[in-house]
Every structure is written in structure tokens, then in C-alpha cells.
Amino acid sequence: MPALACCVDPAALFPPGGYALAAGDISLQPPVTFSDDWSPSLSSTLYKVDGWGAPYFAVNSSSGNITVRPHGSDTMSHQEIDLLKIVKKASDPKSLGGLGLPLPLIVRFPDVLKNRLESLQSAFDYAIESRGYESHYQGVYPVKCNQDRFIVEDIVSFGSSFRFGLEAGSKPELLLAMNSLCKGSPEAFLVCNGFKDSEYITLALVARKLALNTVIVLEQEEELDLVIEMSNKLCIRPVIGLRAKLRTKHGGHFGSTSGEKGKFGLTTAQILKVVKKLEQVGMLDCLQLLHFHIGSQIPSTTLLADGVGEAAQIYCELVHLGAQMGVIDVGGGLGIDYDGSKSVESDISVGYTLEEYAAAVVDAVLRVCDSKLVKHPVICSESGRAMVSHHSVLIFEAMAASACAAPALSTLGLQHLVEGLSEEASADYHNLSAAAMRGDYETCLLYIDQLKQKCVEQFKQGTLGMKQLAAVDGLCDLVGKAIGANDPVRTYHVNLSVFTSIPDFWGIEQMFPIVPIHRLDEKPTVRGILSDLTCDSDGKIDKFIGGETSLPLHELEGGHGSGRYYLGMFLGGAYQEALGGVHNLFGGPSVVRVLQSDGPHGFAVTRAVPGPSCGDVLRVVQHEPELMFETLKHQAEKFSDDDGNSVAALATFLARLFNNMPYLVASSHDMNTMNNRSKNNNGFYYCSSDDDYNAAIADSASGVEEEEQWSFCSA
């Protein structure tokens, strides 16, 4: 007997003139997706953690939580950091020893950043030494990837011993780069890219006057006139670079800036004109660097070597024309493997390692320079994505889950529905019943769709009531469950703004690994998509690595501690913070900076700061929170009927709301943890050990009940 028919009473299924499918009789469940036996290693495979996460992230085999390996492959077992413990330390109330930071939360790991920097340098050092290359590698970090002060300062500090520098693309970026490099190596490059006016060029020349190793890269031919004019006016000799517009083109999603029609760069004809003009004004010796950019996320070393080889030919030609060349800047493009597939065909993966990338660059430059009898140049790269992506993890919480469940269908409701059907709809109903008896599931789907459409039309015409329409949904859901045709995907509502924190997903469909950071020793029993707090329908995540349109997840309810369910987005340290805005006036997340520690907790929080408050984001769009507060308080006084107690209570509530983050809070107790944002160095906690960290926590807890930040809020 067909599977559907065996779940109902055959005698009652199609009685003459009856109502066929008996409500409540069908009991088939959607097919089970995952094995009943489960382990953390199965979770690691399911979420591909070993692919995209190595060597920095793993699933702990005993706790079932995501752990961070801050020193990469050199991390010892006792140095691994439990990500859930960091979240609890950051988000627990101050009265319980936490920092009281609301979620969402960015956790930064400077140790990972240091390891990425050292790994890149080591890869180039090995390639250079093993091939007999007669110069060195000297990279720069493009600050546009993430301009956060502490990230930039960490890179300058960690890279000082191997002359690692910075790249800027605007005047404010140049200012912050100048400031940071004052504490770096005097040999570190300060590469000035982007569109330039006289003010930008003057600032770059001043940087050179301040003994910073500044290179002004010409993106357009017209910029040369400004460089000549301002350098003569200030009597500062510039170092000039050229950005070449190569013929080599990156054909992937991130390759639009490459090729002859790219946004930036000079053609070969323009390069020759620049050389001629510099020669005429006696400044050809200032031309010392050649820069190019194939595109972000270069998928293969074959494409990379092709572009570097073309650029090396231009470099050698410039040497032969008399320029005092010394540096070839291969630009950005060093990709990372977002999905763990190591595929050269994917826009979110790459088919090479750091070592293979460095080897391809060195080999291409070496081959061309040796063939042209040109001295080997210093090799520079502007690797931003590959430097900062891994060191930052975005943590957010699922607050609720919902599914489109149709109402339960009763026998009486089914009878009432059938009696109201039109002749055409009634025919579809009986055809559906017959198909169900035959086990013809494809025909069932056809008649389900036709029946629902006809009933909707009847409802619009007023010949079918709302209860009958609901019964149709119940009937279709009943049949769909029985034949396994229902969509089992749930919507998980998360405390996040996609537009603010993951803008690349919304804007260019860039996918990032998203994984529950705990409960990975349990079998995920449902699949879900993620819906954010914003009122836009685009505020959802419904595409995941591996080509999946839903994510394996766990049930929210049940005895799991506080019942909270935390998810992490990984490899998002580049661009997301820089691109995010204040859509729906949701500001950025809270941030903690975490170092590996040999203390009892395995880590120390060296900096913590809550995300922008409601007042902060209102100021961004030109509102004045203090005046808004006074207006609302005056309105409350105007319409209050009592002795003023309710006005004082409302004023206190409003003051707290202006001062709290815009995101959801789990309870009223958690709301009170942020009342004292101005204490403790404006929410910044500096410590170098667990003892200092615990002292900072104790100090912060002692001030929880102190007076509000706004003096006029004490009414």
C-alpha cells in the first residue's frame, strides 16, 4: 500500500460523497537529516571547521565548543581559548564578575593577527632565500580593510622588526597611518594610493619631511603635475610610484578593478608620458616604485604569476629608461578560503597557501629580472584581507525561532471546507484524494497547488470564509508533511543588523562561515535561516558556505544553562566594520580584545568597550539626544497627573535608553548593566594578566549604582 495511504483508514479515506482525507490520520514526519549518534568531530565536519578554520579555529572534543588557537599551528593544547567562556565573561553582569557588555560582540585576537603577519613574512623569507633572490620582502597593510586604531597599532608594532608598513587611500587614512608609523620602523613604507588633490599630496610630502618612508603612487596622469608643483613649493623631494593598468585580468567576482578598463592605473602610453615629463623637470630619479593590482581574492597562482610577470616586464623597462627603480608592489589579492573548499573556481575560496603565493610572486619577478639583467627589486604587497580576516569573530544571539506552521485541521473543519468549495475546487480536492490513494506524490503536489489557488480566488471573491481558507492551509500542510514536501526550514531571529555588521553579505553576496559556538556535541535537529532585527526584508542570511540555503541548528528551548544560543561569524575582520553604517540606527557591536594567557582562564581581556549607544547613533544623523531628552521630559511633565514621581521614573528610563545600545536585551537586569558607561576609562579595561583583569572587574562592579552619566537625568 502506498506510504500516504497506509497512514489513514482506507475505509474512511474515500467514502462515497464523503470527505476523503481524514484530519489527524496522517502521521509521516519529514525525513531525518542527521544521524542520531553525534560527536563534536561530526559537527566539525558538518560545518567544515577544519577547512576554513585551520589553523586558528577548532571544535573542542570534550566541551563541544568552538576554541581559538591563537598561535596557529604552534598553539599548544593548554593555550586554546574557549570562545563561549569569552562571551560569558564579556556579557555576564558586572555583579557576577563579567563586563556587562550587550551583544552583538566582536572578539579580537591580536595573537592571531601577529601570527598571520609573521606567517606572511616567513613565507616570503623562505621563498627569497631558497631561490637565491637578491633582495627582500617588505609588506604594507592597507588600512581601508579595518581602520580600527588598535588593529593598525598592533600591525605596526608586530611588524616593526621586519619593516612592515601601511597603505592609505584618503587624507584621514594618511593622517592615522602617519601617526602610527611614528612608532614603527623608519624603513617601513607609507604607500599613498587613491585619488589625490593638492592637500593630499602636501600631506604626503610633509610625511616625508617627518622622516617617514613615504611613496606617492600616481593613480592618474594628472596627479603628476600636482606632485611636481607642491614638491617645488615645499622644497621636499618626493619618492614617486606608478600604478600600472595591466592587461592581465582577474575574471572572478572581485576582478572588476583589473584589466585595461579598471578604475585606477596608467596605461603603457601614459607611463611613457610620465617618464618623459619627469625627465624634463629633472625628477626621473624620484620614480622608484611600480604598483599594480590584479583584484581581490586572486583564485590561483597561475593568474597571479601571469600578472606579476607582466608587471615585472614594465618594471624592467622603466629601469632601462633611467628611472631609479627599487620596489615592485604587487598590490592586494592574497585571498583566504572562506568555505574550506580550496577551489580555484570559487569566489570565496583560493587554491593555494601563503607559501605557494609567495613562491609564485618571487619566481615571476626573479625570472623576468634575470632575463633583462635587472637588479632584483624589493617586493612589497598590500595584503589586507589575508592579514585581518581571521583575528576577529562576530558573536550574536538567536532570540527566537519561528516556522510557518499551518493550523491544525479538524474533521469538522475539513467538512466545512469541502461544503464551501466551488465545482472546480471540489474536483481538485477529489483528484488530490485519488492521487494520495495511489501514492502518486507528484500529482498530489500539483493538485495541492491548484486547490490552494482556487480557494484563494474564492476568498477574494467573498465566497469562502477565513476559517475555510485556514482549513485549506491545514489540509495542504497535512498532505505536504505526509509526502515529505514541506519546507522544514525555520527562521531564527538574531540580535544583529546584517547591514551594519555583515554588509558584504547584503551588498555583494559575500559568504562567511557561520557556526554555533557551543552545543556542538549535540545533534543539530533543525535547519534554519537567520533573520536580523531590521525592518527590511533583505535583513536575513539565507545563503551559507557549501552552497547551502539553510544552516543546521539546534532547538532553542531546553535545559541548556541560560537557554541562550550563540552563533559566530568567522573570517569577517576585513571590510565589514569599515563598510557598516547605521541602518535602522543600529550601531556597531561591543568589542573585546583578548590575549592568550597562561592564567586559569586561558585568556585576558585587555580592552573592552560597549557598542554605540542610542544617543551615539542619533548624533551620527544630526539629532541631539540631550535636547531630545529635555523635550520628552517636558512633555511628560506637561501631561502628568500625579506628584511627579512618574515623571522622575520616566526621565530615568529615557536617560538609560539614550545611553544603552540599540540592540535587544535579554532581561531588565541586563539593561541595568550599561548604566555606567562613563566609568572605568569610558568602558575600556586595560590589563596585562588575569589578576589585573579581575581587579578591573571588581572595580567596575563597585560603581554600578553610581549616579547617571547625564547630570540632568537625576530628576
Look-up of cell digits 517636558: 634
Higher pLDDT, 483 or 446: 446
From 30-34, 202-206, 314-318, 324-328, the region with the lowest mean pLDDT: 30-34
* Catalytic residue (choose from 145, 535, 614, 687): 535
Highest mean pLDDT pick, 104-118, 247-261, 660-674: 104-118
With 50 as the cut, is the pLDDT of residue 194 above it?
yes
Averaged pLDDT of the chain: 84
Residues 552 and 573: their CA atoms lie apart, in Å, by 24
Give 385's Cβ-side CA count (13 Å radius). Answer: 20
With 80 as the cut, is the pLDDT of residue 96 above it?
yes
**Tens digit of each residue's pLDDT (9 = 90 or more) over 284-315:** 999 999 999 998 999 999 999 999 999 999 99
- 377-393 average pLDDT score: 96
Closest to 131 in 3D by CA, of 360, 305, 373? 360
Residues 55 and 71: their CA atoms lie apart, in Å, by 8
Closest to 595 in 3D by CA, of 68, 23, 240? 68
- Beta strands 489-494 and 392-402 are antiparallel
What is the pLDDT, as a whole number, of residue 674?
38
What is the pLDDT, as a whole number, of residue 469?
84
pLDDT band of 11, cuts 50, 70, 90: very low
What is the pLDDT, as a whole number, of residue 491?
92
pLDDT band of 408, cuts 50, 70, 90: low
Report pTM.
0.82
Whether the Cβ atoms of residue 575 and residue 504 lie closer than 8 Å to each other: yes
With 60 as the cut, is the pLDDT of residue 470 above it?
yes
Residues 260 and 255: their CA atoms lie apart, in Å, by 12
pLDDT band of 405, cuts 50, 70, 90: low
Strands, E assignment, 81-153: 81-82, 105-108, 140-142
- 591-611 average pLDDT score: 90
With 80 as the cut, is the pLDDT of residue 53 above it?
yes
The cell numbers describing 688, all together, are 596585562
Look-up of cell digits 585576558: 604
What is the pLDDT, as a whole number, of residue 486?
64
- 342-358 average pLDDT score: 91
- 219-238 average pLDDT score: 95
Whether the Cβ atoms of residue 339 and residue 332 lie closer than 8 Å to each other: no
- 409-415 average pLDDT score: 74
> For the CA atoms of the chain, what is the radius of gyration?
31
Phi, psi of 292 (to 5 degrees): -155, 165
Encode 642-689 in three state secondary structure. CCCHHHHHHHHHHHHHHHCCCCCCCCHHHHHHHCCCCHHHHHCCCCCC
Cis before 612 (ω within 30): no
The cell numbers describing 657, all together, are 535608553
- 16-41 average pLDDT score: 53
Residues 41 and 61: their CA atoms lie apart, in Å, by 7
**Tens digit of each residue's pLDDT (9 = 90 or more) over 500-513:** 889 888 888 889 99
535 is catalytic: yes
Host H or E run for residue 215: strand 213-218
From 6-20, 118-132, 242-256, 581-595, the region with the lowest mean pLDDT: 6-20
What Å distances lie between residue 390 and 13, 71, 387, 591, CA to CA?
Answer: 59, 12, 7, 15
pLDDT band of 353, cuts 50, 70, 90: very high
pLDDT band of 449, cuts 50, 70, 90: confident
Give the rounded percent of residues in the chain with a pLDDT score beyond 70: 83
Give the angle subtended at the CA of 302 by the CAs of 298 and 304, to the nearest 5°.
45
pLDDT band of 666, cuts 50, 70, 90: low
Task: Provide CB contacts within 8 A for 116, sequence distance 6+.
Answer: 386, 387, 388, 390, 391
